[in-house]
Each structure stands twice: as C-alpha cells, then as structure tokens.
Amino acid sequence: MGDYDFKADTVNNRLYMKLSGFFRDSDSAPVFDAFIEAVDQLKPGFDVINDIRGFIPASPAAADTIKRAGKVITERKVGRTVRVTGKFITGLLQFKRQLFGVTDVEIVNSIEEAEELLDRDR
C-alpha cells in the first residue's frame, strides 16, 4: 500500500498532500476519504502543496481517484498548486496525464521552496 498524508492548514488556507509508494485499487477509497476530510476544513481558493517525491504511478482505480480529486479541487476553486517532485519525475507524469487542464501547477524540489513561493506571492 502507498503512504499518504493530508493536512489542512486553516491559518494559511493551504492543503498539504503527501503521496508515496504504489497505490493499489483497494487503496483508493480510504485515500479519497482522507483527502475530502482535509479539503472540507478549508475555504474556497485554498492553495495546494502536493509532495509526490516518492509516488510511484498507481493502478487504474487509483489513477481514477487522482481524477476525482482533481474535480473536487476545481469545484472548490483551488488557488495555486505547487507540486514537490525532487528528482523523481515518474509519478509527476501520471499526475500530468490525469489532471491535464484541471489546474496550473508550479514544480519545485522541496516543501520549503513551495511554502516560500506561496508566501512570497500573498
């Protein structure tokens, strides 16, 4: 099972998402539920920092979950999305395919870079 963590920063109206490993079909429902629980704590226009440095392209059902999450983000009027990829870009390619046209994404190498980018442009 892949590892995931979603944190809602209600002060900065920011969603922190961390996905690593390989997600099987059976992982989809709990991951999506945790994602919704975090998103529900934020106001429309929230920013997203998505750490996928250890993400391995997922199974078809898990890939479908990425699409569903993209729709939720669009409906909630996401502000900016910053994806943390480090040097590992295989997972990034799946996110690009599943979320094509959903949101503009900025790419950085670390969480600190992502936070600086969002904080600087406030």
CATH code of residue 73: 3.30.750.24
Calculate the average pLDDT of the chain: 83
Give the pair of three-digit tokens for residue 81: 């999305």
Instruction: Report the range of poorest mean pLDDT among 16-25, 36-45, 77-86, 99-108.
Output: 99-108
Range of the domain at 89: 3-120
Task: Provide the pLDDT for residue 46.
Answer: 96
Query: Structural domain tally of the chain?
Result: 1
pTM confidence score: 0.82
pLDDT per residue as tens digits for the range 113-122: 999 999 987 7
- Region for residue 108 given its phi and psi (left: phi exceeds 0; alpha: psi -120 to 50; beta: otherwise): beta
Element containing residue 89 per DSSP (H, E)? none
Task: Provide the pLDDT for residue 41.
Answer: 98
- Report DSSP letters for 2-30, one per residue: -EEEEEEETTTTEEEEEEEEE--GGGHHH
